Structure 1
Amino acid sequence: MSLVKFRRRRPFSSLIPQDFFDMDDFFDNRGWVRDMVPSRFWNGKTVEPALNIKETDDNFEIELAAPGFAKKDFEVTIEDGCLNISAEREHTEEEEEDNYTRKEFSYNSFERSLQLPDSVKQEAIKAKYNDGILSFNLAKKEEAKKLPPKKIAIS
């Protein structure tokens, strides 16, 4: 089994020519209401960090772009064969002067889940965060590694 990006089916996708633009990029952050059900608590803007997945003979390498976060902001768990990545960050700034008070705050969060293939050693997953990139190294089980071709002698 390989890791693949889940692609949602978008409304009206059959009406717009595919070569006009990439449908996933166009609709990802345009305010489509989740499950097409309006909610007064959701403003339609979600951020899903970009993700690169590379498979080699020995492992999978995953890179998730999450600039502005710190290591302590992340929570990474494995549950039921899924790698769950979430992060949450709050920032508050307050300035008081003689005749005014200025307060600013921001809140950022995201969640991503990846179904892990059976070939991954779950106990050997390594993660590191450097320069806004959260990297994972998922080692493959020995039986899942691609073996070099074996030459058979003909007698």
Structure 2
Amino acid sequence: MTHVKFNNSPLPRLVEDIFNNGWNKYVKDDFLTSDFFTTHPPVNITETKDAYLLDVVAPGFSKEDFKISANDKAITISAEKKAEAKNEGDKQVRREFNFKSFKRSFSITDAVDTNRIQAKYDNGVLKVTLSKKENKQDAPKDIVVE
């Protein structure tokens, strides 16, 4: 029995490229670097009985960097970090992180009271509380039958 080896197959080269050169050649670079998460910060949204809670992971910012605006249909959260001034005498040996701006918008329902939205930035997480409108039910009415 003779073993025949084919060298023309692209599969071994693909596997070799992945292990030697990484995924960057095959996947968009932004996804594999910190740029992806600084331009698209991850968000968790939780609904409680009284409010919707948005947790936006945005480390490296200060509370002054954020801008939050809301209307009856949407809430927009954005942040911009100014680049630090470089000292011309310093040589950058390696730079793996930098801060960029981001902007995310979320649709909101009529149940959200836009006048009672609160936000707090703590330990790299922006916590936005979207309070629900209070359900004021009319008092029961007695209907007189004529």
* 1:111-122 equivalences in 2 (<5 Å): 111-122=103-114
CA apart distance, 1:137: 1.1
Q: Say whether residues 1:140 and 2:132 are aligned partners.
A: yes
Aligned to 1:37: none
TM-score, structure 2 normalization: 0.59
Q: Say whether residues 1:76 and 2:68 are aligned partners.
A: yes
Aligned to 1:87: 79
Instruction: Describe the shift of the 1:79–1:140 C-alpha distance in structure 2 as closer, same or farther (beyond 3 A).
Output: closer
CA apart distance, 1:107: 4.5
TM-score, structure 1 normalization: 0.56
Aligned to 1:12: none
Which of 21, 27, 31 aligns to 2:28? It is 31
Identity between Structure 1 and Structure 2 (%): 36
Instruction: Describe the shift of the 1:135–1:107 C-alpha distance in structure 2 as closer, same or farther (beyond 3 A).
Output: closer
Matched position secondary structure for 2:64:
helix
More helix by percentage: 2
Give the length in aligned residue pairs: 101
Aligned to 1:36: none
Mapped contact 2:72–2:108 kept (Cα < 8 A): no
Q: Which has the higher contact order (CA 8 A, sep 6+)?
A: 2
Mapped contact 1:82–1:114 kept (Cα < 8 A): yes
Gaps of 5+ in 2: 1-26, 30-34, 137-146
Q: Deviations over 1:89-134 (max 9, x none)?
A: 122243354xxx5478945111100011110100000001000000
Aligned to 1:15: none
Mapped contact 2:72–2:114 kept (Cα < 8 A): no
Larger Rg: 2
